[in-house]
Structure formats: C-alpha cells, structure tokens
Chain A
Amino acid sequence: MSGLEETSNESSELKEDNDFDVEVEGHVEVDYASDPFRLYMFYRDRKEWADLEPVPQDDGPNPVVKIAYSEKFSDVYDYFRALLKKDERSDRAFALTAEAIELNAANYTVWHYRRVLLQALQKDLREEMRYITDIIEEQPKNYQVWHHRRMVVEWLNDPSEELEFIADILSQDAKNYHAWQHRQWVIQEYKLWDNELEFVEKLLEEDVRNNSVWNQRHFVISHTTGYSSPAILDREVQYCLNQIRKAPHNESAWNYLKGILQDRGMSSHPGLLEQVLELKETHCSPYLLAFLVDCYEDALENNNQKETLNRALEVCEYLAQEKDTIRKEYWLFLQRSLESRFGPSAASGEPLADGTEPPAGQQELS
C-alpha cells in the first residue's frame, strides 16, 4: 500500500506546525500575501464560465475525514466536477485540468480526464512531455504523474528522452522506486539495453550500497547475456567479491552473490568457499556468515557430511551469540532446523523439541 504511504508522507512533510489546525468552517480566502492586488478571479466570477453550473462535493450529513478546502480550491474543483459531468471536450477544460493538478496532483480522475482531452483535442504531445517533466521533477514520488508520462511516451512511441530524464530524477534520489520502475519499463519496451550496464557500474561507483542499482544489474544481465555461461557467472562473482572487499558490510552485494548462485550450486562454484573463508578473517559481516551457512547447507544437500554440518552449526552459533545478535532466535532456529534435517537424529526420523520434523527421505550418511 505504498502509494498511500507515499501520499501520506508528502502530506505530513507539508505540516508547518506540530498539530492539525482543526477548522470546522474551513474557508480561508485567497490572502493578501499570495495575491496582494486581488488579481486572481474565481471561476464562478469569470464571464466565459457563466454557462456552467458548479458542482460541489456532497458528503451528506456526516462527512468523514473531511478536508477543509479554501475558497479557491473549492472553486476550481467545483468547476472541474461540472466539466466532468457533461464530459466537456474543450480547451478551457484542458486548461482547468492544469489548475486542478497543481492543487492536487494525486487526483487520478483529473489525470484521466486530461488524457481524454489530450486525445480529443489533438494536443501537442511534445508539449505535454515538457509539462509532465516539470511536474515529476516537483513531485517525483507520485504514482499518477509517472503513469501519465508512460501513457504519453506510448502515444508518441518515443522513448528518446527517458533514460536521461530518469537519470536526472535518480540524481536527486537514487532509490526512487517509481523512477526505477519507469526505467525498467522503457528499457524493456523499447529494447534500450545497450548502455544500461555501464549506467549501473557508474551508480555503483557512486554508492556501492544502493540496493536499487544492484537490482538493476541483475535486471540487465538476466535479460541480455543471462547467467548461464561460466564466464559471465564468474565475472559477476568476482565483481561482487571485489565490491565486498571495498565495502564489507553491504547486504546488497551479498544478496546479489547469493542470488545468482543459489540455484546454480553455491557450494560447487570453484574456489568460492575458499575466497569467502579468507574474507571472513578480514572482511567479516553477518552477511558473509549467513552466506557461509547457505553454502554449507547447499553442500549438505548434495553430500551430508558430519564435518560440514558441524561447521554450519558453528557459524549459526557465532551469528546468534556474537555477530548478528538481533536475530539470535532466528539463527538458533536455523541451527535446530539444520540439525533436524542433516543431523544423526534425522536418520531416526524423530522430531526435535521445537516440533521441527525431519523431512522424509533423508540422504544416506557417507
């Protein structure tokens, strides 16, 4: 429900005072500060709008979560509602949508109506691109604006501005989920893969802990070369380990490493376990140790050796008691689970104290 979260956060960030100002009557006139010469004219007073009957909001006798709009806000939206009711297709309607958007860019009905008008009036879509660019720069965490941009790009069938635009948004917030989503859509839809790995590397140089960029790395490679070739896989493994050497306490790098290996034999990748054990001495982290446990588990699944199990249990103990104590109970649970699956009691099929059952069909101990 993150859309709601994002919206609420924007709203909460607008608060000046540390409280709601509860205004039951709720009308605040356009004040002298923002309109000292009273240049702003309400729609209800404009001659060229006299033909339209404004439509107020109607919440009935007991409105809930009522928002106290100013006279200006209500006036704009009363006329928006009037236009909507008759489904008017006109330039004045188009112009009003921009005002309505400025007052509330999260109103998806206004955006939809604007799109209807864009098409009905055959508006200049290049100009619309400029418009939506400005709005997104102001409000980059709004769902509606990104969806609108996507629609315009599709109508124009022209993605040529997108990568640069998104890069600019990311330069302001390198983890903006909407921006990355739009970027993936553009790249996939218009096959713009060529320079993306380079973009990823540049961003990882800026911040090797940016999880969105690691995700993008996986996105690009899995859709281009893939990970099946040993050369690529090894290149990626080494890339990860190099980044880990530079910044050991980086969950993203470890998640990526595990992610690309977990279904390709973590414990059978040549030399990996040795490299990780070496790193353990100088670049240890909870993520390294968790990775080790997963390596041992993978090894145990193929060849249940008592020594491997003991090492796995030891690392769990080390995590629980020293290196990742916030997850102490989880590491102890994992320990019990490994013991139950691969330990001596597994052969006898007895459940353990916490009720974890060993699975049927245990591997033969070699």
Chain B
Amino acid sequence: MLSPLQLEEFEQIDFLRDRHVRFFQRTLQVLPERYASLETTRLTVMFFAVSGLDVLDALDVIDRNNMIEWIYSLQVLPTEDQSNLSRCGFRGSSHIGIPYSVKGPGVLHPYDSGHVAMTYTGLTSLLILGDDLSRVNKQACLAGLKALQLEDGSFCAVPEGSENDIRFIYCAACICYMLDDWSGMDIQKAIEYIRGSMSYDNGFGQGAGLESHGGWTFCAIASLCLMGRLEEALSQRELDRIRRWCIMRQQSGFHGRPNKPVDTCYSFWVGATLELLDVFQYTNYEKNRNYILSTQDRLVGGFAKWPDSHPDPLHAYLGLCGLSLIGEPNLRKVHPALNITQRAFQHLQQLQQTWRDNAGTCT
C-alpha cells in the first residue's frame, strides 16, 4: 500500500494522456487573438496537433475528412495558363484572402504563393489523416520548391524572398522524400550547404559560421538521412564528433546550445538526431523523462519549454515525441527523420509503392 507521500510523488510524474488529447483538440478548434502571430503558420500548428494525436493514438477524436478538405483549400494550384508554377505549394492559412476552394485551376493573385514549411506540414498532415495525396499537384509542388533553392544550396521559404537557411533544406528534403521525387532540389548543393554549416565544435548552425544549435543539427542530419547520403556526406570521424556534440546536450532533459537552459523541445530535436546516429540508446532515459514530465501542464494539458510555464502546441507535440523516443508506453513510435509516426510512415510507403506500380503500367 503506497503512503500518501508516495502516492503524491507518483501522481506528480505520471503522464496525463487525456489532458493532452483535449489540449490538441482545443488547438484544432479556436485559439484566442493573442495567438495572432501564428496566423501565417496555422498549418504547422495543425500538424503539431494532428501528429500529436497520432502519437497518442487518438486520431479518432477528430473529423479527418473535414480537416483534409481544409488542407487542400490551402494548396496553391497552377492557374489556367500555368504562369504561377514557381509559386505553387501550400499556404499556411487563408490570410491572403483567396476564396475557399479545394480544386483548381488556381486563382491569379499578385501575392499568393506557397511556403516551404507549409508544403511540408501540409503533406505530412494529409498523410497522417490517411489521405492518399491524389489531389496534390506534385509537379507543381516540386516546381515551386525548385524556385526556392539558392546558389549556395540553401532554400528560402517563399518565392517573394525571405531569410534562407538550413530549416528550409529540411522542409525541402521532407517534401522530396514524401513525393518520392528529388527533382525538386539540387541535392549536391544542399549537401555542400549542410557541410558548410558544421561548426568548429561539431554541431550545426543555421548556416556557415553560425553557432551550433540542436534544432539546426537535427535539420542537417535528418535531411542527409532522408536524402540517403549521411555516410557519403560525413566521414566516420565527423559522425563520431557530431555524436559527441549531441550527447553532451543532455543536462537532465536537453538544451539546444552549450550553457543554455534545457527546453522540452530539444528532447526531440537532439534525441531524434542521436537516434538517427544510433547512439540515443546511450542517453539517460530516466532524467530525460523526468524533465519532460516536469514541463507537463497538469491542468490544461500539453507541455511547455520549462516547468511552471505556459504550454504551447509545439512543445506539447515535441514533448510527446521526446517521450516516444524513450519508449513511453502507449505512445506510437515516431520516425526520427520525417517526424511522423511509424504508422503514418507505413501509409506513405504503401502509397509510394502504389505510385511506382502505376508508373510501371503505361497507359
């Protein structure tokens, strides 16, 4: 029989599944105005919630078909004259004011274009919801993607121009991987940019010369894995050095840079990187778990970056992924490079097999 103190301690570190399910459900419904800065990235917020529910094996609580329709309404499709191909992909939201439509042809608008992170999370969200991507104009997406790559191998987010860095290489790699078509990017140049982003301390920065960081290191390694070029791009010596940089990030949970405080999301960014490098097994699971759970919001659900802080969809999702990596019971396994469940990944593999089979039978 547990003493009252033992019972209290047990409650403190237990995982509150139902709260997290409800947290993601609310996220998918309505957010208050103070979340305005998320407007242009609403599709990524949807991805966090939908993939989070998938990890929790709770996708049954949402209306998948309605959500699939909403995602397709965000696709920037080619116009009749195909003059906007280099701007195709997915939008983050309806903020430009294009009238709702799930089918083409695209509407000509001087400022409408896709965003590489939205195309990535749009595709992953469709997959997670069980869609077969048949309404995705793949060639248009790839044309839009190609238009975003710069001479140095990095990508911008939008054709109008934006900052360019390794985050968008990762988004591009995911898109090509999912569409099973690497014509959307110059792999060699991307690899050069990634290599150039390796710091003297063996982590990866956002670009050459920049401080190494757990998030960018994930983007670097995951991209190379998706490209199937990890061991071609990096020597064994370099991989060992990267392993060391990554594994030194564990303090209790993980931080993103030396001498910075730990933050729940790095349990995924760094954890997944370590998993891709085959050394996650050598981390301390208990301390990692205890940290992540200390950032759990017991009232509202979700996870925050730090204990006693407000939860948000990103940390809620990545906290769950961090727990999944250490094998937390009743959580689906996550594909560490693509950042979707293995279940969704298998759906993708089946789809890709169908595409290959169909391509084999000429009409």
Contacts and interface: CB of A to CB of B under 8 A. Distances in A.
B37 A106 contact: yes
Given A104-B36, A106-B40, A180-B210, A13 B310 contact: yes
Given A18-B300, A251-B248, A11 B282 contact: no
A300 to B, nearest CB: 13
A65 B216 CA distance: 27
A107 B70 contact: no
Given A22-B26, A67-B42, A58 B210 contact: no
Contact of A67 (B30, B161, B258, B283): B30
Contacts of A362: none
Contacts of A14: 34
Nearest to B247: A330
A65 B38 CA distance: 9
A181 to B, nearest CB: 6
A84 B97 contact: yes
A279 B319 CA distance: 39
Interface string A44-88: 000000000001111111111111111001000100011011010
Given A2-B215, A68-B32, A330-B283, A211 B257 contact: yes
Interface stretch (B43-51, B181-189, B330-338, B354-362): B43-51
B33 A66 contact: no
A7 B40 CA distance: 11
Contact of A211 (B29, B250, B260): B260
B96 interface: yes
The CB with the most chain A CB atoms within 10 A, among B28, B36, B109, is that of B36
A20 B200 CA distance: 43
A219 B44 CA distance: 33
Contact of A66 (B29, B40, B206): B29
Interface string B253-296: 00001111000010000000000000101111001000000000
Nearest to A262: B241
B117 interface: yes
A241 to B, nearest CB: 17
A169 interface: no
Given A62-B70, A81-B97, A290-B244, A327 B30 contact: no
Chain B interface SS verdict (over half): loop
A81 B96 contact: yes
B38 A7 contact: yes
A330 B36 contact: no
A326 B251 CA distance: 8
Contacts of A251: 248, 258-259
A41 interface: no
Contact of A22 (B30, B69, B213, B314): B30
Nearest to B125: A64
A327 B282 contact: yes
Contacts of B83: none
Nearest to B252: A326
A112 B156 CA distance: 14
A70 B170 CA distance: 36
Interface string B120-155: 000000000000000000000000000000000000
A59 B70 contact: yes
A12 interface: yes
Interface string A200-214: 000000000111100
B40 A108 contact: yes
Interface string B155-185: 0011011110001001000000000000000
A120 to B, nearest CB: 13
B78 to A, nearest CB: 19
Nearest to A11: B35
Contacts of B241: 262
Interface string B83-126: 00000000001111111101000000111000001000000000
Contact of B162 (A77, A113, A147): A147
Given A11-B312, A85-B109, A109-B111, A64 B42 contact: yes
A194 interface: no
A59 B248 contact: no
Contacts of B322: none
Contacts of A69: 33, 36
A222 to B, nearest CB: 8
A64 B28 contact: yes
20 contacts: A5-B265, A8-B313, A12-B312, A22-B26, A22-B30, A55-B97, A58-B94, A58-B99, A59-B94, A62-B70, A64-B28, A65-B46, A87-B110, A106-B38, A112-B158, A143-B163, A180-B211, A184-B210, A215-B212, A330-B247
Given A8-B45, A104-B39, A327-B284, 10 more contacts: A4-B117, A22-B30, A59-B94, A69-B36, A175-B260, A180-B211, A181-B206, A215-B210, A330-B283, A333-B279
